[in-house]
């Protein structure tokens, strides 16, 4: 029986599966085929919800006595874009100059491939683990994240699964393998702001009400003053306006409404509820003040719609998990990793409600880019890091 001990072969098999969200593309089937020879039990639940695509998920478990470690991640990938812009076809897993090319190579099929290889090497060299390992893999991380990790955690929890710690294999390193472990993330919430006016001819503004002026006033109130200066563990919170639109093709028509979308990344100075309350307060005050402008008798008429439920800020404080992983990284790479809370969101925001969780994977410089690729030497080092971690974590 051949065990999946080579991370490059594992990754090539996964890259060749065109698993662009929400398509499974064969990737979870390929993963299941790697895990079965190791003795993993495999479940493949599909979750659904009105208005969203059905999503394939995978939960695999290698049972044992002792602590339970979860490895979490996703097999779905973002679209490759124009195939002709790639040096090699995006699902070919071509190897050139010590790198393997393909969509998902670093985000995050590479992390999955290395973890599977690490488990295979450990089992092949040492026999059964002194504990439990599970892989919680979704096909919905790059999409709306509705029928993926959230429901997979609930499903597994309802079956009695409990975990002591989790690693998410996202690409966490900015420049070199071993640079960084993510031990937390800022929260995130998005909103859409609509200002209503009165449509009219641009030459007769007294007969209309231009919503662009009101939108500019409200946006200014959202941006200034800054939300905070940062905290001990987190960088400053920031609000970014991501689009402004009036849907108006005519240059001589005052539009009836103006819309802006924004996203906030907030630190532990805030909760989802308090940051949204702050935004409402700023808008209300700015809208009311605007009626003091000469010629304006009423506040700015606006609506605010919040997007998906907020992703809450979190910080992992688990010395065994963080310390064991840090020691493993330093032993293999010679680098002491920086403990960071930077970057965007990941599915760790859901896992934190079930057990302590950190993130560590490949170098992320090419994720979501044309010619996404992973270094073969990094794949081998990451496998050795995971293998060392498994031995120490279950010791």
What is the reported pLDDT for 344? 81
Ranges of residues in the chain whose predicted pLDDT is under 50: none
Question: HSE on the CB side for 227, CA within 13 Å?
Answer: 26
Q: What are 323's two structure tokens?
A: 């310390």
Give residues with Cβ within 8 angstroms of 197, minimum separation 6. 208, 209, 210, 211, 212, 214, 254, 255, 256, 257, 258, 301
280 assigned binding-site residue = no
233 assigned binding-site residue = no
What is the reported pLDDT for 291? 63
Q: What is the DSSP letter of 333?
A: H
142 assigned binding-site residue = yes
74 assigned binding-site residue = yes
Contact 90, 80 (CB under 8 A): yes
CA 150 to chain centre: 13
Question: Alpha-carbon distance 255 to 245, whole Å?
Answer: 10
285 assigned binding-site residue = no
pTM higher than 0.75: yes
Phi, psi of 222 (to 5 degrees): -75, -35
CA 154 → CA 54, 136, 300, 304, distances in Å?
17, 12, 43, 31
Active site residue 245: no
Give me the CATH code for the 187-306 domain, please.
3.30.70.360
Given 141, 209, 372, 378, the catalytic residue: 141
Question: Degrees (nearest 5) of the Cα angle 104, 106, 111?
Answer: 105
Q: What are 170's two structure tokens?
A: 């996202």
Given 24, 76, 99, 359, the catalytic residue: 76
Note the CATH architecture for domain 7-185+313-393. Answer: 3-Layer(aba) Sandwich (3.40)
| Domain coordinates in residue numbering, the chain | 7-185+313-393, 187-306
Domains 7-185+313-393 and 187-306 agree in fold: no
- The per-residue pLDDT for range 241-275, each reduced to its tens digit, is 999 999 988 999 999 999 999 999 999 999 999 99
The residue among 246, 262, 260 whose CA lies nearest residue 208 is: 246
What is the reported pLDDT for 365? 95
Reported as type and span, the H/E element at residue 196 is strand 187-196
């Amino acid at each position: 029986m051949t065990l999946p001990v080579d991370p490059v072969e594992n990754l090539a098999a996964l890259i060749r599966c065109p698993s662009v969200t929400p398509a499974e593309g064969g990737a979870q089937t390929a993963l299941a085929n790697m895990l079965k020879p190791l003795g993993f039990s495999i479940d493949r639940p599909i979750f659904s919800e009105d208005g969203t695509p059905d999503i394939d998920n995978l939960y695999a478990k290698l049972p044992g006595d002792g602590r339970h470690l979860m490895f979490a991640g996703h097999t779905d990938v973002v679209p490759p874009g124009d195939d002709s812009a790639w040096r090699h076809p995006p699902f070919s897993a071509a190897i050139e100059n010590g790198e393997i090319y393909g969509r998902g190579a670093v985000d995050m099929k590479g992390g999955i491939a290395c973890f599977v290889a690490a488990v295979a090497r450990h089992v092949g060299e040492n026999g059964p683990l002194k504990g439990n390992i599970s892989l919680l893999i979704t096909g919905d991380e790059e999409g709306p994240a509705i029928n993926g990790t959230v429901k997979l955690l609930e499903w597994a929890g309802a079956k009695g699964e409990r975990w002591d710690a989790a690693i998410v294999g996202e690409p966490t390193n900015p420049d070199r393998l071993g640079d960084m472990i993510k031990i937390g993330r800022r929260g995130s919430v998005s909103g859409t702001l609509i200002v209503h006016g009165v449509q009219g001819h641009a030459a007769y503004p007294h007969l209309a009400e231009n919503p662009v002026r009101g939108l500019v006033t409200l946006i200014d109130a959202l941006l200034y003053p800054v939300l905070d200066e940062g905290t001990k563990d987190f960088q400053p919170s920031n609000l970014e306006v991501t689009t402004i639109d009036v849907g108006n093709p005519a240059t001589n028509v005052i539009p009836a409404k103006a819309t802006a979308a924004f996203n906030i990344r907030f630190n532990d100075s805030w909760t989802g509820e308090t940051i949204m309350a702050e935004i409402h307060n700023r808008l209300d005050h700015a809208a009311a003040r605007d009626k003091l402008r000469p010629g304006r008798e009423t506040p700015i008429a606006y609506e605010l719609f919040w997007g998906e439920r907020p992703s809450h800020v979190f910080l992992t404080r688990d010395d065994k998990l963080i310390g064991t992983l840090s020691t493993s990284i330093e032993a293999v790479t010679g680098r002491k990793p920086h403990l960071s809370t930077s970057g965007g969101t990941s599915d760790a925001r859901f896992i934190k409600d079930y057990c302590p969780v950190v993130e560590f994977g490949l170098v992320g410089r090419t994720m979501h880019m044309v010619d996404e690729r992973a270094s073969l030497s990094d794949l081998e080092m990451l496998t050795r890091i995971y293998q060392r971690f498994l031995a120490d974590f279950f010791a």
